[in-house]
Structure 1
Amino acid sequence: MMRYLPVLTAALGLAAGAAQAAENTLTISVYSFAQDAFKEAVYDPFEEICGCELVVETGNSVERMAKIEAYAADPVVDMAVMSAHDALALARKELLAPIDTSKLSSFDQLYPAAQDPLGGNLGVGYTFYATSIVYRSDLVEVNSWADLLSDEVKGRVALPAISTTQAPLVLMMLGQALGQDDILQTIDTVGENADDIVTFYERSSQLAQLMQQEEVIAAPIGRFAWSRFRGTDLPFEWAEPAEGQTGGMNVMVMTRGNGNEDLALQFMDYWLSTEVQTRLAELGIDSPANAAVEVSAEAAENLTYGAELINSLTIMDPAVILDQREAWIDRWNKTVIQ
């Protein structure tokens, strides 16, 4: 019998080690873009600090939200990042835990809009993005959101598809420029001009190709995609419309009842720190929500950066997007996609 004791002891040791590793593992759900850069700038340094393991899950928003909902009774995701309106959808289903902001050392340095964007401390903003119009300055001049429907860009303009995050923001600003208070009315106007619009794009990479081929000379984009255009030989400009720029915010959330709250808060605290937010901004990955971040002039060109710009953004209430989205999609399908 004694000859089996070392084997049994080793097995028990391995089991204990596995249990300890599981207890010190944080599972995060994030956007799939720039993951190699995030690994080097955020994940690996944090693992060294915490002595823990990060399990990183990626996917589109629908897939990631569905997983959080499917495992609500026994969460397999501890912390996630997503758009504010997607986070609010989870909050309404009581799938998110309140965040103890006293454990976030940089909380007071966040822009006010990022401190409690969902209410109830159910999320905290970590990055902003502006949305405006990119255009060929040698071919057209853009001074208003209404210029997206002007004769000068007729047949050479693109708009985001209704399923994208950008679409509600663009429709809101276009409606303001046209004197229309109801987005449904603006969707009808887009439908009336649908034959003059080259495409309703799903991804910024698709749009970049069309603009570089000169099939499109003006289109709305998020600032996070601006580097695709700024780095080319063609004279692209970022518009500053008379009605202002719109934009949005991505937030960090913590799943309800995950049992790993302390480690999740430690990771959030690290990501929101001035050091890490500066590192990500200088790499051109995320625009900082931490107002203490200072970046080079070159890096700032690709970012939504600085109090003056961020405080001037017209940001749509995420509750409005959630409450109205189905009606917008239905009207879009009837009047734009025929």
Structure 2
Amino acid sequence: MRFHSKLVSAFLLAASFTTSFAAEKLVVSAFGGIWQQSIEKNFGACYKDATKNDIAIQLGDPAAWMNRIRANPSEPPIDIITLAQADTMRAIRAGMLEPLRRDKLPNLKQIPASHYEVWKDQAVQVHTAALGVLYDKSKVGELPKDWRTLLDNIAAGKYGKRVSMPAGTYAWGPDFIWFVSQAYGGNVDTGFAKLKAMMPSVVKFWTEPSEAINLFANKQVDILVYWDGRSHDFIEKGNAWAGYYNPGPKSLGTAVSFAKVKNSSEAGWDFINCALGAKAQLGHAQTLGYGITNSTVEYPETLKGRITPTADMVFVPYDRVLDQFPAWIDRWNREMR
């Protein structure tokens, strides 16, 4: 009887371990707000359908997530990390990402190779966005068709002190410094000189998208350099007085990627495969209003006009300029404050 009791106890203990393991959630990092909602509604739902398991969202920013991974690389606290481009390159250099497993990612064949080869096959982009111009149609006349003329006009005070644009200390601030420099031959010194010349016309160099849109919504600025998806979302929420456009020849393009952290759960491949699938990708585009990377997705008419094609974007060559970012931020803090 005592042997039977011990056997039952051992079985129950083993079963509890098995149940605990099976119920262990996949930890996915995410930006807050509507981004988190999209991950849960589109990618997380697909993952649960495929695996009968749930995801656990960890909010924050890439720098904090990478610090947590560095602290415990053998048992990382995050399985799938969400990364902007600069942080994708940093994570690759730090050796914290696993190479993409094509045998585990059948949906990868629907993603153009440019969305993962740029990251040495260690991360894959799930959506793209462009930095364009949100403006008050009742206050601003016809705007220039190209970025250089627009920036020159701002520097000349043509629109008064009614402009806002990203700060060099914003998450994509160094990217914006690089982009402005490209309008003037790629010379960063010239780019900084032009940014300084624009200072008298800038109400605020913004560091958070929420503060930027509040400035515009409260009619404190007439011209806001801002993201395409967020701009269209603002316009469509009863703000027909606002307009948006991408000056030529190209706007600054950005992308967000998913990557599986080295030594993390193998179930992470199921999540990434879900995130690359056509159904989840379309849902992501409809939720965020940004372009997605699955080439088989056809945007509905309500989305077509607001998605900036990647052909109309220019992307920062992070492998060549990332190491210059700290110096640019330091210079911004010294010269633009």
Q: Tell me the TM-score normalised to structure 1 length.
A: 0.88
Is residue 324 of structure 1 aligned with residue 324 of structure 2? yes
1:156 Cα shift? 0.5
Segments of 5+ residues of structure 1 without an aligned counterpart are: none
Question: How far has the Cα of 1:314 moved from its partner?
Answer: 0.7
Which residue of the partner structure matches residue 118 of structure 2? 117
Q: Give 1:108's aligned residue.
A: 109
Task: Please report how far the alpha carbon of residue 289 of structure 1 lies from its aligned counterpart in structure 2 after TM superposition.
Answer: 0.5
Per-residue deviation, 1:275: 1.4
- Return the offset for 1:8: 5.3
2:203 matched to which residue of 1?
Answer: 198
Match of 2:190 among 185, 191, 197: 185
Report the 3-state secondary structure (helix = DSSP H, G, I; strand = E; otherwise coil) of the residue aligned with 1:90: helix
SS of alignment partner, residue 134 of structure 2: strand
CA distance in 2, matches of 1:68, 1:154: 47
Contact 1:222 1:247 in 2 (8 A): no
Partner of 2:224: 219
Deviation at 1:214, TM superposition (A): 1.8
- Secondary structure in 1 matching 2:158: helix
Given candidates 289, 292, 307, the residue that maps to 1:288 is: 292
Q: Which of these residues, 295, 298, 303, is aligned with residue 299 of structure 1?
A: 303
Alpha-carbon distance change, 112 to 44 in structure 1, aligned in 2, over 3 angstroms: closer
Does residue 38 of the first structure (1) align with residue 43 of the second (2)?
no
Map 1:151-170 to 2 at 5 A.
151-170=157-176
Q: How has the CA–CA distance of structure 1 residues 256 and 184 changed in structure 2, closer, same or farther, with 3 Å as cutoff?
A: farther
Matched, 1:270 2:271: no
Q: Name the counterpart of 1:76.
A: 77
Q: Which runs of 5+ in 2 are unaligned?
A: none
Distance 1:56 1:311 in 2: 33
Hey, what's the Cα distance between the residues in 2 that align with 1:72 and 1:211?
43
- Alignment partner of 1:16 out of 15, 18, 35: 18
CA distance in 2: counterparts of 1:56 and 1:109, whole angstroms: 26
Find the aligned partners of 1:205 and 1:238 in 2 and give their Cα distance: 17
Contact 1:32 1:60 (C-alpha < 8 Å) held by counterparts: no
- What is the letter of the counterpart of residue 194 of structure 1? M
In structure 2, the CA distance between the partners of 1:244 and 1:13, relative to structure 1 (3 Å rule), is closer
Q: What secondary structure is seen at the aligned counterpart in 1 of 2:165?
A: strand
- Aligned position for 2:234: 229
What does residue 26 of structure 2 align with?
26
Report the Cα distance in structure 2 between the residues aligned to 1:49 and 1:216, rounded to whole angstroms.
47
**Number of paired residues?**
327
Q: Distance in 2 between the 1:197 and 1:287 partners?
A: 29
Native 8 Å contact 2:50 2:270 kept in 1? no
Query: Is the contact made by 1:137 and 1:237 (CA closer than 8 Å) also made in structure 2?
Result: yes
Q: What secondary structure is seen at the aligned counterpart in 2 of 1:174?
A: helix
8 Å CA contact retained: 1:85, 1:321 = no
CA contact (8 A) 1:157 1:216 kept: yes
Q: Per-residue deviation at 1:277?
A: 0.6
Deviation at 1:286, TM superposition (A): 4.4
Report the more deviating stretch, 51-60 or 187-196.
187-196
Q: What pairs with 1:38-77 in structure 2 (closer than 5 Å)?
A: 38-77=39-78
Change (3 A) 1:12 1:233: closer
Q: Is the 8 A contact 1:284 1:299 kept in 2?
A: no
Give the Cα separation in 1 of the matches to 2:22 and 2:209: 43
TM-score normalized by structure 2?
0.88
- Which residue of structure 2 lines up, in the alignment, with residue 171 of structure 1? 177
Conserved 8 A contact 1:68-1:76: yes
Q: Distance in 2 between matches of 1:94 and 1:20?
A: 29
Tell me, yes or no, if the aligned pair for 1:278 and 1:293 is still in contact at 8 Å.
yes
Query: How big is each residue's C-alpha offset from its partner over 1:285-311, in whole Å with a ceiling of 9 and x where there is no partner?
Result: 54211111112121234433xxxx212
CA 1:242–1:48 in 2, change beyond 3 Å: closer, same or farther?
A: closer
Match of 2:89? Answer: 88
Distance 1:193 1:272, change over 3 A: same
Cα distance in 2 between the residues matched to 1:234 and 1:241: 20
**For 2:72 and 2:290, how far apart are their aligned partners in 1?**
29
Farther-moved stretch of structure 1 (87-96 vs 227-236): 227-236
Give distance in 1, aligned partners of 2:219 and 2:26. Answer: 46
Please give the secondary structure, in 1, of the residue aligned with 2:257.
strand
Q: In percent, how many aligned pairs have the same letter?
A: 18
